[in-house]
Structure 1
Amino acid sequence: MPHFPGRANWMAHPQALASLLAADGDLMRRTRAWLADPGSMTLKLKARTQDFSVRLLRQRPGPILADEHDALGVPARSRVVERDVILHCDGRPVVFGHTVLSTSSVKSDWPFFSKLGTTPLGANLFFDPLVARSPIFYARLHAGHPLMRRIAAALPGALPSTLMARRSLFSRRGGVLMVTDVFLPALETFIRPGARSKQDI
């Protein structure tokens, strides 16, 4: 499948990412399970850390990315509202979160969005009965992808040339937003069996 630096090839099954994962078969299965989990990433992380926090990188209008407009159902040159965050567990960056929605639906369909600050988005999405989630899609993001460049800018230092990501659409009333989670290297520590949950402590 051809690779274009500014785009990712989004696929409907996480097994398609198997070649990207480490040779450790158990880790591969656990990572795939985290990618495919339809529940709240925030709740999963909070259960495995003593100190969960959100670092807000940006929340502002901007142009939609080249591999997002079709999925969101808007024209290629649309202006959207973007929100980028990094989720930290015990001070370590584990997930880069990217949310995008049309500017017209912020106030009407997602009234809480502009007031989130460092509150995790999942705290609203997964506890609002009006919110429905679409199937998850998966991709490997290469170094030239815009989100990879944002991660590199936020986390100076060596990063893998490719990172795993997942994304899905959430709908509320007539509005749709898209959430992308990019798994950062430190997440492996919290996926391994030795990472105990708070319930075990």
Structure 2
Amino acid sequence: MPHSLCKAAWMSHPQALASLLAADGELMRRTRSWLADPGSMTLKLKARTRDFSVRLLRQRPGAILADEYLALGVPARSRVVERDVILHCDGRPVVFGHTVLSTSSVKSDWPFFSKLGNTPLGANLFFDPLVGRSPIEYARLQSGHPLMRRIAAALPGEAIPAALYARRSLFSRRGGVLMVTDVFLPALAALMRADVRSM
């Protein structure tokens, strides 16, 4: 796999994705709105579904990805703790969530992290006064990106497009930093269409 395909071009403003979101007018504007929403994705989804659930795919030590280490401020070959989940609304997978943090900060700065299980991470991040958040970054992940390969492996029965939109940001607590990436799955479009119809 060429190294360039393992990295995404992360952008500092959702408008930078405008040329990639050119079709389907109002729905694409809604996609940008969802990408840029500074609130909790968990709460946003819960407000739009009868049955919200989290499927834990993995939570274990791993190697940091090629497009993550600079943003997280760690060496390129760092070992980190990874957590991958899929958020479901009414049984449909709508968001793939990926969290990464330094192994040294799990117990000291994020004591709840190891006990999350199928509990959404946002339930802790957005209600802890000690937690700060960096500006959101945006990207369009291509099929060769490691997170895209994980999505395909976790959802073998789903038709996954060649590219998916994603956002990420850093959360800090005391001296520890973790990065949360949300990848929008195809079924999320139905919730965004519902938003458009309700406007």
**TM-fit CA distance, 1:22:** 5.7
Provide the rounded CA distance (Å) in 2 between the counterparts of 1:150 and 1:56: 13
Deviation of 1:23 after TM superposition, in Å, equals 1.3
For residues 94 and 123 of structure 1, the distance between their equivalents in structure 2, rounded to whole angstroms, comes to 18
Per residue, is there more helix in 1 or in 2? 2
The CA deviation at 1:158 is 2.2
2:179 aligns to what SS in structure 1?
strand
The residue aligned with 2:193 is: 192
Please tell me the residue identity of whatever aligns with 2:102.
S
1:53 shift after superposition? 0.2
SS of the counterpart of 1:23? Answer: coil
* 1:1-201 aligned within 5 A: 4-21=4-21, 23-156=23-156, 157-193=158-194
Distance 2:170 2:146 in 1: 19
Structure 1 Cα separation of the partners of residues 197 and 175 of structure 2: 40
Separation (CA, whole Å) in 1 of partners of 2:42 and 2:139: 20
Which amino acid is 1:192 matched to? R
Q: TM-score by structure 2 length?
A: 0.95
Name segments (4+ residues, structure 1) moved above 3 Å.
193-197
Deviations, residues 14-70 of structure 1 (Å, cap 9, x unaligned): 112223336111001111000000000000000000000000000000000000000
Q: 1 CA distance for matches of 2:184 and 2:63?
A: 24
CA RMSD of aligned residues (A): 1.5
CA contact (8 A) 1:189 1:195 kept: no
Take 1:22 and 1:6, find their aligned partners in 2: how far apart are those partners? 25
Percent identity (aligned): 85
Q: Give the gaps of 5 or more residues in structure 1.
A: none
